[in-house]
Structures are given as C-alpha cells and as structure tokens.
Structure 1
Amino acid sequence: MKTILSAAAMILALSGTAFAEGDVAKGEKDFKKCKSCHGIIDTDGEALFKGGKTGPNLYGIVGRTAGTVEGFKYGDSIVAAGEAGLVWTEELLMEYIKDPKGFLKEQTGDSAAKSKMTFKWGKPEDIVVFLASFSAEMPAEGEAAEGEAAEGEATESDSTTTN
C-alpha cells in the first residue's frame, strides 16, 4: 500500500496539483517524525501510515474542523478553537505546526491557551502538502468555514474523518 501511496504522492507532486508550495515525497519522508504520535487511517479503518495514538488521526485533516476526531481526547484550547469555527487549511496547519501553543493563543484570544502538541516544526510546508494529499476535498481559503456554518453539526460521514 505504501508503494501505491508513494506513487500517488509523486504524481500529485509532478502534476502541479499541490495546493501549497511543498514537496509531497519529501513530506512523506518527513512524516516519519510525526508518526510517533500520529497515524493516517482512512475511513475504512485501513492504516495508510501506522503511528502512535498520542495525537489524532490525520487522515482528511485539511478541510476539517479543529478538535473533532471522534474518540480522541483533545485539550480544551483546540476544542474551543474548533467550536469558534477553526477549519484546517494548509496555511493554518503550517502556522499551527510552527508553534502550536502560540497559534492557539492567537486563535482563541486566550493568553493561557495550551496545546498537547509540543513539537514545533520550523518549515512544515512539505508535511502539510503531504497531509493534504489525504484530504478528499480541498476547499478554498474561507470556503470551508462558510460551508461549516451552513451545515451546522457535522454529518455522520464527517465524524469518521474529522480532527
């Protein structure tokens, strides 16, 4: 399965379909550092990348409301950000990965905001483009938030792939 995904990642990278600037193949390699806490498990339960369970499943993270993977116990700050309408885009993921705690402080307006993710990555572009390759839909900036507001509660299919 990894070979198929690697080929798909290469095709995506070479086709110019990447949504942010970054290298999908390099991001796949860099993801090895992330998988100590995170896995990528598709909606059928197939582990595309086996990883730890300290962090939430990252399958479909782009376009998903923050803090909403069913069955994962998030910290209060990221849940509050999601409840306030934070929907992950590639740009927001890059900001978060660079400084999770600082990002949540800014998003929530709470100077005491905390993040369970303590790892900071200075240049997360490749990782984010790699993660985006596992997202079914790539909404335009701002489009996801409007769609979320119009839909209200997450649908049953959203709950299987939400963060």
Structure 2
Amino acid sequence: MLLPAMAAAQGTVQPGDAAAGKVAFKRCASCHQVGPAARGAFGPQLNGIVGRKAGATADYRYSPAMKQSGIVWTEQKLAAFLKSPSEVVPDNQMRFWGIGDERQIANLVAYLRTQR
C-alpha cells in the first residue's frame, strides 16, 4: 500500500471510500450540486466531473482562469485542486482554501467518481 506522500509523488490518488466522500461532500453542497436534478448555482454542478474539461458545463459562468486552464479533471488533478485550488488554477473564483486531509480528499474523489 502506498503512503499518501508516495502516492502524490507518483501521481496517483489513494483509494477512497465513496460513502465517506458523500458525507464529506456536505461541506461542498453549499455551492455545488450532484445528482439527477443538479445544476449550476453558486458553483458548477459536479456530475461527470471525472474526465470532464474544466469550465465546460453550460449552466455555470466560469472564471476566465478556469475556462482557459486547459485542465481535464482526472482523479489526480481533482485531488490536487481539492488540496489547493489556487495552486492548480491561479485566479479561479472558487472561495475555498483547500483540504489538508489526504484521506478526505480521496473519499471525495471516490464519491465524485460515482456521480454521472
């Protein structure tokens, strides 16, 4: 089993628990929606985020930084963004400092992977 620091260095995301990620997502839900009725609101909806190009949903007005980032949201890129949004996409408009807990990040990524 890889330690979180080794996994990050190798560009992998440690396996997460989607059920725990659903619980952790509650702190994201004030801005983001998932599920069949999800839509962009204060933040973009996150259905199908894994594999989607950044700034690509039609129901949200993204910052120029996000639209021009060229990012495709891989699990690794999502984990990095959840850890430090401003390092991954400088000048993005997300009002969030990041998550320091690698396990919580892995759980959130596992949950988001389930949202199509």
Superposed displacement of residue 121, structure 1 = 1.3
Candidates 7, 14, 21, aligned match of 2:15: 21
TM-score, normalised by the number of residues in structure 1: 0.57
Q: Greater relative contact order (Cα 8 A, min sep 6): structure 1 or 2?
A: 2
Maintained 8 Å contact 1:35/1:52? no
User: Are 1:64 and 2:64 an aligned pair?
Assistant: no
The 1-side partners of 2:61 and 2:40 are apart by 14
In structure 2, what is the Cα distance between the partners aligned to 1:134 and 1:41? 7
Between the aligned partners of 1:87 and 1:52, the Cα distance in structure 2 is 19
Query: Which of 74, 87, 98 is matched with 2:72 structurally?
Result: 87
**Number of residues paired by the alignment?**
100
The reply to whether residue 103 of structure 1 matches residue 88 of structure 2 is: yes
Give the fraction of aligned pairs with identical amino acids, expressed as a percent: 36
Partner of 1:150: none
Instruction: Say whether residues 1:36 and 2:30 are aligned partners.
Output: yes
Mapped to 1, the partners of 2:66 and 2:94 lie a distance apart of 10
Alignment deviations for residues 94-117 of structure 1 (CA, whole Å, 9 cap, x no partner): 00111111111xxxxxxxx31111
Q: Larger helix proportion, structure 1 or 2?
A: 1
- TM-score with structure 2 setting the length: 0.78
- How large is the Cα RMSD of the aligned pairs? 1.9
Larger radius of gyration: 1
Structure 1 position 52, deviation (Å):
7.7
Residues 40 and 59 in structure 2, CA contact (< 8 A), matched pair in contact too: no
Residue among 17, 40, 61 paired with 1:73: 61
Cα 1:36–1:52 shift into 2, 3 Å: farther
- Structure 2 residue aligned with 1:117: 94
Contact kept, 8 Å, 1:41 with 1:59, in 2: the verdict is yes
For the residues of structure 2 that align with 1:122 and 1:133, how far apart are their CA atoms?
22
Off by >6 Å, runs of 4+ in structure 1: none
Name 1:5's counterpart in structure 2. none
